[in-house]
Structure 1
Amino acid sequence: MITGEKVQLRPVSLDDYKRTYHWRNDEETARLEAGTGFFHLSNVPLEEIEEDYEKSIIKLDKREAGEFSIYILEEIPEYIGGIGYRELNMIARRCTVGIGIGHKEYWGKGYGTDAMKVLIRFLYRTMNLERIQLDTWSGNTRAIHSYEKCGFEVEGRLRNHSYIDGKYYDTIIMGLLREDFQCE
């Protein structure tokens, strides 16, 4: 387990994965997390989520990707979302990260920012990476602000790349170099 100021990152359990059922079937939560992928990542039956756990978590090759559950650091820890890395390239020492806080009660309170900082520290210290990147859609302003608080900078914009709720949005590409990360 990896601990920050507000959260702890833990291995993903089947129970955690099953709890995403409610978040993935909540339109607002699913849209913010999935963006253009909303149509195939939402309205998912519980059986499909359980099947996906085997493929996406149990059989995950840690040399290519990693997933963690986010728990709040309280007297009674509570699962509030997930975070992970993918597209790991150990030659170039880089990866892509992603996060989702599904529990709406914890939105806008710094839990996602803390979880991202914890993951970044882990990736730089433990895996000796040089670069971390991510992408999101331009309408997800709360996420963009959180990423900027972690030190990510906008490096690119793919115009009209995401189509969400009948409207086109840009995809925002953000990056963070090891030397620019201030919270080590």
Structure 2
Amino acid sequence: MTLILRRARPSDAAAVAEHLAEPDIFPGLLQLPYANAELWQQRLSTPPVAGSPELFLLAERDGKLLGSAGLHPVGAQVRRRHAMALGISVSTAAQGQGIGGALMTALLDYADNWAQVLRVELTVYQDNARAIRLYERHGFEHEGRLRAYALRDGVYVDALTMARLHPRQPLVRS
């Protein structure tokens, strides 16, 4: 019953698509209904650009996918290389069991100690109180509101922008 966090593999495509297709999961993300396993197969089979610090993790217990989380470059601009975007999802049945916290801890450890990331940023729907509390517990701060950000179930909804700066920027040892 141990929680395992690991990098996603191409063979995980069907499980990722099934996870993201959960009726209570996809509306909270920028996903669409009817997740496509073939599309995820292609995405997971395409290696990141050489030198990219991109990371996509899965959380599983007893071989069942319970959550996913990733750090993704925010763009190709040289002046934004220090920033990454964070995305996370936890299966409805596994919420409140520490899965989100474990994924966040792993991603932020990677960002802070290995990937030279100064800024981790995200957007979250303004009514997703559980996710907002998770982000705040991990040091994310509110930066703004994006009005009518995305269409969700036929209604345009607002999103919040949040970000976290590296808590202890790396030093140079002499």
Specify the code of the residue in structure 2 equivalent to 1:134.
Answer: L
Say yes or no: does 1:20 pair with 2:16: yes
What is the match of residue 175 of structure 1?
163
| 3-state SS, counterpart of residue 28 of structure 1 | coil
Q: Is the 8 A contact 1:160 1:170 kept in 2?
A: yes
1:42 equivalent to 2:33? Answer: yes
Gaps of 5+ in 2: 170-174
Runs of 4+ residues over 4 Å off in structure 1: 88-92
| Secondary structure of 2:24 counterpart | helix
- 1:60–1:171 distance in 2 versus 1, CA, 3 Å: farther
TM-score (norm 2): 0.80
CA distance in 1, matches of 2:147, 2:27: 19
1:112 paired residue number:
100
% identical equivalent positions: 22
Deviation (angstroms), 1:143: 1.0
State the distance in 1 between where 2:140 and 2:7 align.
Answer: 25
Report the Cα offset of residue 135 of structure 1.
0.8
* d(CA) in 2 for partners of 1:99, 1:70: 11
How many residue pairs end up in the alignment?
A: 163
SS in 2 for 1:82: strand
Q: Deviations over 1:35-75 (max 9, x none)?
A: xx4xxx2213xxx4134322x12213151632121224xxx
Alignment CA distance shift 1:21-1:179 (3 Å)? closer
1:31 aligns with 2:27: yes
Question: For 2:148, what is the secondary structure of its paired residue?
Answer: strand
Paired position in structure 2 for 1:164:
152
- In the alignment, residue 48 of structure 2 is paired with which amino acid? D
In the other structure, the counterpart of 1:123 is: 111
- RMSD of aligned C-alpha atoms? 2.5
Higher normalized helix content (fraction of residues) = 1
Deviations 1:16-42 (A, max 9, x none): 3211333333322211233xx4xxx22
Does 1:69 pair with 2:58? Answer: yes
Task: Report how far residue 165 of structure 1 moved.
Answer: 2.2
Shift of 1:114: 2.0
- CA deviation after TM superposition for structure 1 residue 77, in Å: 5.3
Asked if structure 2 preserves the Cα contact closer than 8 Å seen for 1:108 and 1:142, the reply is no
- Give the equivalent residue in structure 2 for 1:79: 65
Q: Give the TM-score of the pair, scaled to structure 1.
A: 0.76
How far residue 97 of structure 1 moved from its aligned partner, in angstroms, is: 0.8
In 2, distance between residues paired with 1:169 and 1:29?
A: 16
